[in-house]
C-alpha cells in the first residue's frame, strides 16, 4: 500500500486529441478516491496512465514516492479491475488469480495461501476450478477483484467495474466493495460515470469534465458546496435546479437550489410561484416538476410523501437563502 501523486499530468493522444489538460491529484495511503464525470471526460485515460497502459504526455505520476512514468505496468505494483473483467477465458478461476503471481515467481505455498484468503473474502471457494464462462456476471466481477487482491498491490485501480451488472447486483457489489476497502485499508482509485457510486464509495471525489478537474473533495463537501455549476448539476439526482439570479433578487447571475431544499408552501425566505406539470413518484421520494415563470426548465422539488399534487395545480415553492448556491457567469461558485 502506498499513496499516489499526480503532478501536472497531461495526455495528448496521437492524432491530437487532448484528453487530459493537466491533472494534480494527491491520494493518501489507504484512501478511496473516485474519479467521476460524464462519458468521454478522460477518466479512463487518467487511470490508464496511472496503470502504465497509456503513455504520459506531460507531468509526473508517483506511486509510493517513486516516479513511475517510465515503468512498465507490471513493474508499478498496481492491480487493475477492468470494466469487462478481462479474465483469461481459458484459465480456471484459480489460474486467473495466480497468473500474475506465477509470473513474479512467487513461491507456490504463498500463492496458495493468498488465493485461499482472497477466495474466503470474496466467497469464491466453490468456483476456484471453474472457467470464467461458467460464472455469472457478479461472480466474474468477484474473480476480477480476487485477481487484483492476491497481488497485494500498492494501489487498486478500477475502471467502471460495476457497470456491466444489473442495478440490484450493482448495489450489492457496491456495498461489498466498500466493506472490502474498510477491511483492507488499501489505496483505491475508482472510475465511474455514476454519481451515486461516487457519493457512496468515495473518501474523496474527483469530479472531471472535458479533460479538466472541476473539484476535489469529500462527498459531502462536493454535494454541499459544489465549486462549479458543472459539479452542482452532475452530482445529485434529480439534479440541482438553476434559476436566473434576478428571479429571486440575488446578485449572482445563476442561482442553484437542490430539489430537497424546496418546500411546497412553507415559510422560506425565497418564494417561487408556479404550476405543477407532473409528479414523479419514486417510492421513497416524490418529485414535483413545477413550471416557474422566468426559469428555463421546470423546477424540480421534493414533496412530502403524503402530499397530493395534481398537474395543473398552482403552488408556491419556498427555500431558505442559506440553501442557495450562487454561480458567476463563468459557472464558478460565487462565495
Ligand X SMILES: Nc1ncnc2c1ncn2[C@@H]1O[C@H](COP(=O)(O)OP(=O)(O)O)[C@@H](O)[C@H]1O
Tally of CB atoms within 10 A around 318: 18
**296-303: Cβ within 8 A, 24+ apart:** 296/242, 297/241, 297/242, 299/241, 299/243, 299/257, 299/262, 299/272, 299/274, 300/238, 300/239, 300/241, 300/259, 301/241, 301/259, 301/262, 301/263, 301/264, 302/259, 302/260, 302/262, 303/264, 303/279
The residue (of 80 and 213) whose beta carbon lies closer to other proteins is: 80
Name the residue whose CB lies closest to Mg ion.
44
Residues 303 and 262: their CA atoms lie apart, in Å, by 8
* Total binding residues toward ligand X, as defined by CB under 6 A: 12
Taking the complex as a whole, the smallest distance from the CB of residue 305 to other proteins amounts, in Å, to 44
Q: Which residue has the cell 474498510?
A: 182
Residue 51 interacting with other proteins (CB under 8 A): yes
Taking the complex as a whole, the smallest distance from the CB of residue 101 to ligand X amounts, in Å, to 29
Footprint of Mg ion on 41-80 (CB under 5 A): 44
The residue (of 40 and 294) whose beta carbon lies closer to ligand X is: 40
Footprint of other proteins on 121-160 (CB under 8 A): 132-133, 147
Residue 192 interacting with Mg ion (CB under 5 A): no
The piece of 20-28, 51-59, 244-252, 259-267 that touches other proteins (CB under 8 A) is 51-59
The residue (of 19 and 235) whose beta carbon lies closer to ligand X is: 19
The contact pattern for ligand X, residues 39-78, with x = CB under 6 A and - = no contact, is: xxxxxxx---------------------------------
The piece of 2-10, 12-20, 88-96, 319-327 that touches ligand X (CB under 6 A) is 12-20
Residue 162 interacting with ligand X (CB under 6 A): no
Pick from 89, 107, 249, 312 the residue near other proteins by CB under 8 A.
Answer: 89
Q: Cell triple for residue 93?
A: 478461476
**266-272: Cβ within 8 A, 24+ apart:** 266/318, 267/318, 268/318, 268/319, 268/320, 269/318, 269/319, 269/320, 269/321, 270/318, 270/319, 270/320, 270/321, 270/324, 271/316, 271/317, 271/318, 272/243, 272/247, 272/248, 272/299, 272/316, 272/317, 272/318
* Residues within the interface to Mg ion (CB under 5 A): 44
* Residues within the interface to ligand X (CB under 6 A): 13, 15, 17, 19, 37, 39-45
* Residues within the interface to other proteins (CB under 8 A): 51-53, 72-75, 78-80, 82-84, 86-90, 99-100, 103-104, 132-133, 147
Amino acid at each position: 500500500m502506498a499513496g499516489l501523486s499526480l503532478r501536472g499530468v497531461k495526455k495528448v493522444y496521437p492524432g491530437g486529441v487532448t484528453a487530459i489538460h493537466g491533472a494534480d491529484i494527491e491520494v493518501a495511503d489507504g484512501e478511496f478516491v473516485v474519479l467521476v464525470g460524464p462519458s468521454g471526460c478522460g477518466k479512463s485515460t487518467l487511470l490508464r496512465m496511472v496503470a502504465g497502459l497509456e503513455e504520459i504526455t506531460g507531468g509526473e505520476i508517483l506511486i509510493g514516492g517513486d516516479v513511475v512514468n517510465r515503468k512498465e505496468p507490471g513493474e508499478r505494483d498496481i492491480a487493475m479491475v477492468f470494466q469487462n473483467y478481462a479474465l483469461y477465458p481459458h484459465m480456471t478461476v484459480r489460474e486467473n488469480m495466480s497468473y500474475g503471481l506465477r509470473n513474479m515467481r512467487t513461491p507456490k505455498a504463498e500463492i496458495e495461501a493468498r488465493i485461499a484468503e482472497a477466495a474466503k473474502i470474496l466467497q469464491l471457494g466453490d468456483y476456484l476450478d471453474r472457467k470464467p464462462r461458467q460464472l455469472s456476471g457478479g461472480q466474474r466481477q468477484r474473480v476480477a477483484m480476487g485477481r487484483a487482491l492476491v497481488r497485494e498491490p500498492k494501489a487498486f485501480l478500477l475502471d467502471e467495474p460495476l457497470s456491466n451488472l444489473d442495478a440490484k447486483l450493482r448495489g450489492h457489489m457496491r456495498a461489498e466493495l466498500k466493506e472490502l476497502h474498510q477491511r483492507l485499508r488499501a489505496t483505491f482509485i475508482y472510475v465511474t460515470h455514476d454519481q451515486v457510486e461516487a457519493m457512496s464509495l468515495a473518501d474523496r471525489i474527483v469530479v472531471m469534465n472535458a479533460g479538466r478537474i472541476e473539484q476535489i473533495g469529500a462527498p459531502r463537501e462536493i454535494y454541499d458546496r459544489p465549486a462549479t455549476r458543472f459539479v452542482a448539476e452532475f452530482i445529485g439526482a434529480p439534479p440541482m435546479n438553476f434559476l436566473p439570479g434576478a428571479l429571486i433578487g440575488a446578485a449572482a447571475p445563476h442561482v442553484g437550489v437542490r430539489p430537497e431544499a424546496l418546500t411546497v408552501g412553507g415559510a422560506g425566505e425565497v418564494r417561487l410561484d408556479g404550476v405543477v406539470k407532473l409528479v414523479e413518484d419514486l417510492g421513497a421520494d416524490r418529485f414535483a416538476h413545477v413550471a416557474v415563470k422566468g426559469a428555463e426548465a421546470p423546477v424540480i422539488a421534493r414533496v412530502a410523501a403524503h402530499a397530493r399534487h395534481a398537474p395543473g395545480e398552482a403552488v408556491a415553492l419556498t427555500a431558505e437563502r442559506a440553501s442557495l448556491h450562487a454561480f458567476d457567469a463563468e459557472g464558478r461558485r460565487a462565495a
